[in-house]
């Protein structure tokens, strides 16, 4: 069995800005686990544990889905509180592009998994003190990262280790 998801790895040219936003969050009194720079990604559908023998078939279905859509620009900006501002377990960056939402829904319908609105996770929150003040501070952070062209979607393997997860791209499907 392979733990995996379908998503888009963050482009190298945007990682420094994303890490600087994470650095701003680290200065606040929040107990959290930051996503490592090499693991920054947009998840379109979390698949969980999948039999290795099914990866090839999933890859062909993903190719078929991606062939329907043209490469498209995505803007990354705005910090999201997940599930909401009053009770959040994840801080993420919003991904502005209707293509990603459509891709996620199609992937969930045709391949499976659990698709959420597209976002790029910054950290998983364990504990927060003075929530009202901290939410206000988070909203002040310059969270504009920039845009990039999504030209492919990947099936990504996630190996959990003591030091954190290690991601490996298993397959890549190109958009038109």
Q: How far is CA 41 from the centre of its chain?
A: 4
Q: How far is CA 155 from the centre of its chain?
A: 13
pLDDT value for 116 = 86
Look at the block and give the residue holding tokens 């003040």.
133
pLDDT value for 130 = 85
CB atoms within 10 A of CB 108: 18
CB atoms within 10 A of CB 132: 9
User: Maximum distance among all alpha carbons in the chain?
Assistant: 49
Backbone dihedral angles phi then psi of residue 173, each to the nearest 5 degrees = -120, 130
Domains of the chain and any CATH numbers: 2-174 (3.90.1140.10)
Q: Provide the 3-class DSSP secondary structure of residue 59.
A: helix
Kindly give the parts of the chain with pLDDT less than 70. Answer: none
Look at the block and give the residue holding tokens 């190109």.
174
């Amino acid at each position: 069995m392979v733990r995996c998801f379908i998503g888009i790895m963050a482009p190298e040219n945007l990682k420094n800005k994303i890490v600087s936003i994470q650095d701003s969050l680290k200065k606040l009194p929040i107990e959290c686990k930051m996503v490592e720079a090499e693991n920054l990604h947009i998840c379109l559908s979390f698949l969980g544990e999948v039999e290795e023998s099914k990866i090839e078939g999933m890859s062909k279905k993903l190719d078929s889905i991606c062939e329907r859509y043209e490469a498209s620009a995505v803007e990354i900006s705005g910090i999201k509180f997940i599930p909401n501002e009053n009770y959040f377990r994840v801080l993420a960056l919003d991904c502005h592009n209707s293509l990603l939402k459509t891709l996620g829904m199609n992937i969930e319908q045709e391949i499976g998994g659990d698709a959420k609105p597209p976002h790029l996770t910054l950290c998983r929150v364990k504990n927060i003190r003075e929530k009202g003040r901290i939410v206000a501070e988070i909203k002040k952070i310059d969270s504009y990262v920039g845009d990039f062209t999504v030209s492919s979607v990947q099936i990504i393997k996630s190996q959990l280790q003591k030091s954190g997860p290690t991601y490996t791209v298993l397959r890549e499907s190109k958009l038109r």
